[in-house]
């Protein structure tokens, strides 16, 4: 019985790690695209002044 509890805990740990990794990647992608967007806005604003 004890070994199945340990295996379940390891499985939950792996799932949690994958979810965390996916969240980090998603936030990183959003940050990059937002930075690029504001860079284009800045370039356009400078060109029109």
Side-chain-side CA neighbours of residue 1 (13 Å): 0
Q: Give the pLDDT confidence score for residue 27 in this predicted structure.
A: 98
Query: Which residues does the chain have with pLDDT short of 50?
Result: none
Task: Say how far apart CA 40 and CA 11 lie, in whole Å.
Answer: 44
Q: Give the pLDDT confidence score for residue 13 in this predicted structure.
A: 95
The model carries a pTM of: 0.70
Please provide the DSSP assignment of 1-49 as one string: -HHHHHHHHHHHHHHHHHHHHHHHHHHHHHHHHHHHHHHHHHHHHHHT-
């Amino acid at each position: 019985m004890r070994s199945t509890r340990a295996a379940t805990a390891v499985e939950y740990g792996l799932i949690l790690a994958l979810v965390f990794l996916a969240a980090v990647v998603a936030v990183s992608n959003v940050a990059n695209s937002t930075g690029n967007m504001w860079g284009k806005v800045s370039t356009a604003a400078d060109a029109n002044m």
